Amino acid sequence: MNIRGLFGKDKQDQPVIVVSGLPRSGTSMVMRMLDAGGVQIFTDSVRRADEDNPRGYFELERVKNLEKQPDKGWLKDARGKAIKVVSPLLPELPSENTYLLLFINRNLHEVIASQNKMLARRGEKVDPASDERMRGLFEKHLGKTKTWLKGNAHFKVLELVYSQVVADPVGEARRIRQFLERELDVSKMAGAVEEPLYRNRAKVETNS
């Protein structure tokens, strides 16, 4: 059964498109691709572009407090649109919706390096000695999250690798279009990927 058969055709029954992954894993880049390709983005634009994300964050402030919200009915307004939800908050998404999830994987050394630079720019203390401990926590979290997703019928998942999207934006944009089964502009999606913004490269690439 294809996605349309699984999730329904009417707008009321359309899935929510969720872009997720660890913070600093490339979620903003994928949101920008969807926006360029023709997907409506569910955002309030409260968080402005800055040095860490010069093209914007595409976030919705309300998402940050999902775990504290007894009523999450507002997420029905995101049906047929794309919303960014960091991976620790995925279990907070209500089962009254169905979700097409684009999950971004990035080398964990790169994720941690990017997070450390963001913290340093904000004047917050960075302890390099804790990097390996953080990597272990991230690995455990990702494993637990992906196991949970496999057992959740409300999610259909496409995994992307940040470095691969940057290396082959056209090919990866086509994969996204095929997964979402929507008439998206692949050329514009690929054009939204800016290789110079890949600023924290690990010496050895992995799919972690």
Is pLDDT larger for residue 25 or for residue 46? 25
pLDDT of residue 141: 97
Name 19's bridge partners. 84, 102
206 has pLDDT over 60: no
Distance CA 127, CA 124 (A): 10
167 has pLDDT over 80: yes
34 has pLDDT over 70: yes
Question: What mean pLDDT is predicted for residues 74-99?
Answer: 96
42 has pLDDT over 50: yes
Tokens in use for 27? 């979620």
Say which CATH superfamily domain 12-194 falls into.
Answer: P-loop containing nucleotide triphosphate hydrolases (3.40.50.300)
pLDDT of residue 194: 82
pLDDT in tens, 172-181: 999 999 999 9
Sign of the dihedral through C-alpha 76, 81, 84, 85: positive
106 has pLDDT over 70: yes
Question: How many CB atoms within 10 Å of residue 207?
Answer: 11
7 has pLDDT over 60: no
Tokens in use for 56? 């914007």
Name 103's bridge partners. 20, 159
Exposed e or buried b for every residue in 124-153, given b needs 16+ CB within 10 A?
eeeeeeebeeeeeebeeebeebeeebeebe
DSSP single-letter state for residue 117: H
Residues 6 or more apart whose CB falls under 8 angstroms from that of 136 comprise none
Structural domain boundaries of the chain? Answer: 12-194
What is the model's pTM? 0.84
